[in-house]
Structure 1
Amino acid sequence: MFFHISMEKNMQLHPRHFGPHLRDKLVAKLMKDVEGTCSGRHGFVVAITGVDDIGKGLMREGTGFVTFPVRYQCVVFRPFKGEILEAVVTMVNKMGFFAEAGPVQIFVSNHLIPDDMEFQTGDVPNYTTSDRSTSV
């Protein structure tokens, strides 16, 4: 579900940011560009926890921009099939319900649950809705 991994990214910085606080500006741009993004390979980037290395910059001809290779550590959220997640139900309709677990939106179809499925009702209370009675 949550992993702490090391990643790399080439960051481009405008010449107006060059000066005594170059590293701070580069790290701020990295956080702005990377946190909250998603990749199919790694998952959702929750937060950058540290910057390991900023390589030597390479100037792009004609633009003045400099590309810096940056190695950083981050926490990513990557759910897997069959994994149990704590989620908040956001909408219920005749077809099923929608829920959110962090940045992931989940839909659970009502058609996947067989009508003859029985729930254990030991110490669990029964809840009744306006359209039908269900045991949870």
Structure 2
Amino acid sequence: MRVSLALVLQRAARVRGGDHGVEDIGKGLIREGTGYVTFPVKYQCVVFRSFKGEILEAVVTMVNKMGFFAEAGPVQIFVSNHLILDDMEFQSGDVPSYTTSDGSVKIQKESEVRLKIIGTRVDATETFCIGTIKDDFLGDISDPGAAV
């Protein structure tokens, strides 16, 4: 019985890494006439799955000339420079950013953006997405109080 439980736990650990998994396993209760044992299990998991076409708000984690990376919860999203608005250009320097020609909008590390998922990939340890801000109502989410 211990071997079977260990195999179940190994399989659960392979499905996702990170700060989740089995926290506690209580005493087993043998179910009469079946040969089955029922265990109360305390389990922590991430219940989030992004899908194509979904609109998310994310925080930019890195900006480079190829595009930028952002995170929305456990999901990492890459927005290619081809999927950024045409009037935004990459500005290198101490704080790399994508900035509009008039300087009114700037996307840099720690910026909050609204983006659209156009592709997803899920592997054993993470979910990775490709996004775009080349659509209506997408891009930098300005703090209304900051504009005053």
Q: Which TM-score band (shorter chain)?
A: 0.3 to 0.5
TM-score, normalising length: structure 2 = 0.35
Which structure's CA Rg is the greater one?
1
